[in-house]
Structure 1
């Protein structure tokens, strides 16, 4: 049976369980179970190559001792074991230190739950999972392909869609920032690990020895606030031969900006910070007064500018609202242009993040250490004959060949134009600059016209929120 059929049959079994309510819970349930199987297969590999390997997991909790026997525990006995021994044991492993395999297991299970009520159905699912050998290169390759589809399915599971950035976008951003062997790469809003996975693949092409491959593993770092994407990211990296994924389960914004030392700064940051989110009041106090706001993406931009080394390179996904926003957004853009060379903004069309959001997004590329003199814009076109992207017709990496061919030999064309920093300052740091080659009087497709109307409403809402934030800050300062 193919891996996609195995997963589909698991989901069908899980739908019969009264304890699992909705897609989000089904995904969370499946993820911790698959994580344990992947972890067990990885340990089997380590035991084979390391004579002195010691598992941090107690013997009784090893997958092979409670799950691998198809005729083993089932029904109430299995349910009692999972709820009263497995979960408590993995949440409170003894004598584990940060940065170890045991610590990874604890972090994965810290906020994980068993939603299933039927031990009989659980046994059926476990037996299906046991059909996959994650040490098999063929099975691993097939599961990687399924993993991409699995992440897309998150988009229909409520707010879980916020975890997913299209693979083509992550790969393009990593390709253009071009991490090099020995450089530290960070994603402070890791999600399911797409940017880190692309970074590993990019760096592994430069690694020719076991020592260099170890350097790559130690160069990749992430931070993720939410439990489900954190587990997915850890699993993703283990599948890509990272023995101990360095992905902290934490809120990147919860630490005061002033506390970061020079040693903690990194060479490359590639990320898609959550936008439209609202942070709690206490988080704002971690930032300088002039940059305090509840808007998550704005705070992440301040954090990114803090964490980049001199000559460090950043690539960030941001909505149009950041480009034209005022108030705190203006001050952040001023800081960005003064401290960094914002050399490129790739303007993505509608539907790239469909169906999660129809908001237009942009890819900002910058280098820290020198002020911006001019900003190049590139408007990414739809493929011929296509008027939008969708779940079944997503953006493809081949489409970015246009930008790649233009990148190192820049000339204005129907997609590309440049704007001086003086012009940007004159317009109060508004970066929302339209393509001058676009004919405004062209007859718009009705769906595009409707989207433009929706975007106009978003602009009004964003401006209103900026004013509210400003007034709130003034009131608090009185």
Structure 2
């Protein structure tokens, strides 16, 4: 999907007609849009260097959160300005005196202690307590304004760490060099996020695993969500899968304003952590989703049996968190035979439950979720009974470098009929390349052979299939190695050894818990 480019007169997706006067106004307000987009990585680097001068900001995590809310507020204002030009009736949910244009856009505007006082004592309190009712009704009888709810939730989980108002003004002025509405690069926001994420690697618990764009796009293209289908990512992070789904649907099906509204209503996500949630909402707004249907909260923190037909969706695309434990007590939402503290396993159960019969999904799972005894085996049996897991793409360990070196898999399945056989595709590294890295990430073109093979399946040295009978005999173990390749001794990295040790401790803990429950 191409973002709004006012200089080209494209104020709407293909097939949507907008009044010429509106375009003239929009072009007038974005003069210079044809100017080449400034280097995003360079601007982010400059911003972080400026912020290091402020004593209130300590470490990468705080710098990124600080930049996050500023970028979000600027993008919201840029989109508000666009919507005001396209509709005389549009009124922003952000009070005029709090809009970016009112206090930040003028490079010679408010600064120093006055700016710091405004942000801490007026801006944040007002946005954290934003009126979310339509029409400003205090009793909420007019219903809830979802855009206002999103903004309130974003700022409720965000802080202003900077203490020097003069440095804040420098950061704000640097951000004003970016005009998101005039960008000719449809991946502008992705570039910003990737720049931020490189610094998150050392940010402790704030760190997130970024799913490479090549992976999100190939998974989306194969599942191929279409207009009118409900699409869900229950652990959406910054919205990579959701934006891939939006682009996939738009290029095939969106031809009118009505189509765009249907698209907006059918793209759904949920994210627990405040920073990725904020970036996800902003990402979707930049993809012309006026009011993103994204919730800030834990998808797992809901009674499993309460998920009924009205909650179910047609398509799930997700890379659920793995290698971590869930919030205390969350596992009690699930049936006793499936209770575990491993996040990836509970997310798998959740996604099975949320998918309609006939619905299809593509998800990322680590090797640890494909094997194991006890509760893990029972979850896999439920998975293979409820769903037709027809394809597993085995990825090299280094796909998620530099964020993680865990071996991962892409699982493609449909719900409503049991698995009879699974095709395995072993993804090979490009010839002459020993691993993926930050400078040599996985490329989408590497999946071209997979797409060609998809509808005419044959076995070869990197493709094999396994029957459900074999899987049953093997305890529903899905970690099936390539039978055409003689396994050689391999050395493990320190990170991999630590991960294996952590998995071993977790399995021991789960076994002890099961024994304790049995004794009781």
Q: Under TM normalisation by the shorter chain, which class is it?
A: over 0.9
Indicate yes or no: 2:221 matched with 1:175: yes
- CA pair 140-387 structure 1, distance change in 2 beyond 3 A: closer
| Deviation per residue, 1:230-249 (Å, 9 max, x gap) | 01111111111110111100
- Match of 1:120? 166
State the 1:467 CA deviation: 3.8
Indicate yes or no: 2:343 matched with 1:306: no
Which runs of structure 2 are paired with 1:277-356 in the superposition (5 Å)? 277-356=324-403
1:135 corresponds to which of 181, 184, 188: 181
SS in 1 for 2:180: coil
Which runs of structure 2 are paired with 1:416-435 in the superposition (5 Å)? 416-435=463-482
| Alignment check: 8 A CA contact 1:99 1:246 kept | no
Indicate yes or no: 2:244 matched with 1:198: yes
Q: CA RMSD in A?
A: 1.9
**Partner Cα distance (1:439, 1:234) in 2:** 47
**Partner Cα distance (2:185, 2:430) in 1:** 33
Gaps of 5+ in 2: 1-37, 134-142
SS in 2 for 1:364: strand
SS in 1 for 2:492: helix
State the 1:157 CA deviation: 3.2
SS in 2 for 1:430: coil
**Partner Cα distance (2:107, 2:64) in 1:** 23
- Match of 1:359? 406
| Alignment check: 8 A CA contact 1:389 1:395 kept | yes
Which runs of structure 2 are paired with 1:55-66 in the superposition (5 Å)? 55-66=92-103
- CA pair 300-328 structure 1, distance change in 2 beyond 3 A: same
**Partner Cα distance (1:71, 1:452) in 2:** 53
| Alignment check: 8 A CA contact 2:209 2:400 kept | no
- Match of 2:429? 382
State the 1:54 CA deviation: 1.7
SS in 1 for 2:333: coil
State the 1:137 CA deviation: 3.6
Which runs of structure 2 are paired with 1:223-242 in the superposition (5 Å)? 223-242=270-289
| Alignment check: 8 A CA contact 2:60 2:199 kept | no
- CA pair 159-354 structure 1, distance change in 2 beyond 3 A: farther
**Partner Cα distance (2:77, 2:324) in 1:** 36
- Match of 1:185? 231
**Partner Cα distance (2:132, 2:451) in 1:** 49
**Partner Cα distance (1:453, 1:428) in 2:** 29
SS in 2 for 1:345: strand
1:440 corresponds to which of 468, 476, 487: 487
State the 1:8 CA deviation: 1.9
2:156 corresponds to which of 96, 110, 122: 110
**Partner Cα distance (2:499, 2:181) in 1:** 48
State the 1:252 CA deviation: 0.3
SS in 1 for 2:127: helix
**Partner Cα distance (2:217, 2:397) in 1:** 19
- CA pair 145-435 structure 1, distance change in 2 beyond 3 A: same
Count of matched residue pairs: 472
- Match of 2:107? 70
- CA pair 140-235 structure 1, distance change in 2 beyond 3 A: same
**Partner Cα distance (1:308, 1:242) in 2:** 23
- Match of 2:514? 473
**Partner Cα distance (1:306, 1:85) in 2:** 44
SS in 2 for 1:365: strand
State the 1:3 CA deviation: 3.4
**Partner Cα distance (2:67, 2:502) in 1:** 38
SS in 2 for 1:19: coil
1:255 corresponds to which of 298, 302, 318: 302
- CA pair 99-425 structure 1, distance change in 2 beyond 3 A: farther
- Match of 2:456? 409
- Match of 2:416? 369
| Alignment check: 8 A CA contact 1:140 1:239 kept | no
State the 1:440 CA deviation: 2.8
State the 1:139 CA deviation: 6.3
State the 1:392 CA deviation: 1.1
- Match of 1:12? 49
State the 1:155 CA deviation: 3.3
State the 1:133 CA deviation: 1.4
| Alignment check: 8 A CA contact 1:349 1:380 kept | yes
| Deviation per residue, 1:327-348 (Å, 9 max, x gap) | 1110010001111100011100
| Alignment check: 8 A CA contact 1:23 1:157 kept | yes
**Partner Cα distance (1:280, 1:314) in 2:** 25
TM-score (norm 1): 0.94
**Partner Cα distance (1:200, 1:39) in 2:** 19
**Partner Cα distance (2:426, 2:474) in 1:** 21
SS in 1 for 2:201: helix
| Alignment check: 8 A CA contact 2:41 2:195 kept | no
2:146 corresponds to which of 77, 80, 100: 100
- Match of 2:22? none
- Match of 2:491? 450
Gaps of 5+ in 1: none
